[in-house]
Structure 1
């Protein structure tokens, strides 16, 4: 994939998975997200927003670092959480990033214990993430990336207060 200053391990994973050319969204957002600036991506379904997001998180975080999550990603459903975890496994297989996903039907005590062992990227549904951050005392000051996937849908479903509580 032809992006400026991309992590060589990420580059290798992208090529192995057939992503040799950056699409329009990736080209337009890569440097903005990499710089740490706030970014809103609005594009139709199937345009590569989720893949772009995953690539940028891997690029920005690169290696495991702290016990508290450094990237927090809100998704609408358990299925979206699994889809995103699979993308992290696919494109982040040459990194040390620890990715964990949570959802409303999971065991919250198991989730707390797993997260307390140290993770870098936490993906989850708004209800579960809100419950975890309200009761487990994670250090949100370690967050480098705060991401809301499919923001329009989450706001339509009235998850704005759950998201704002953590932000």
Structure 2
């Protein structure tokens, strides 16, 4: 058996956008075995809260007794909480089956464990670039026409405008051509 990835790109141009799409799997596909996703930012303006900046300015701890804080006002960056960010909700159904075979939240995993993904190199790509945030979901479905629906929630409450590309990688197992 050989495996192949089918790539489908979805352009999100508005916050909260809903997109319907279809992906036709090849005729020699035996089954759909997995799904990976990735998000790449194209443009956007982050929401800036002047109230939070003012509150942080009022309650800055200068270290007490004249000593400056060791790591500045933000604290030690190694222990700063970095919550995962919800990209959106994806629903998938197959033309051969009733109901949905996958429905779930697509999440940007911002938690690195024990310096995962850190390497010595001159250029370090940002999380939004070069597919450094690809996530994998295992599924087992018969092939056919896949119908999908995606509802964006990535920029809600954090951006005034955001445009990004969601890339879905559908992994299939192909029939062997041995005769």
Fold shared, TM-score > 0.5 on shorter chain: no
TM-score (norm 2): 0.24
Comparing both structures, which one devotes a greater share of its residues to strand? 2
Whichever of the two has the greater Rg, that structure is 2
Comparing both structures, which one devotes a greater share of its residues to helix? 1
TM-score (norm 1): 0.25
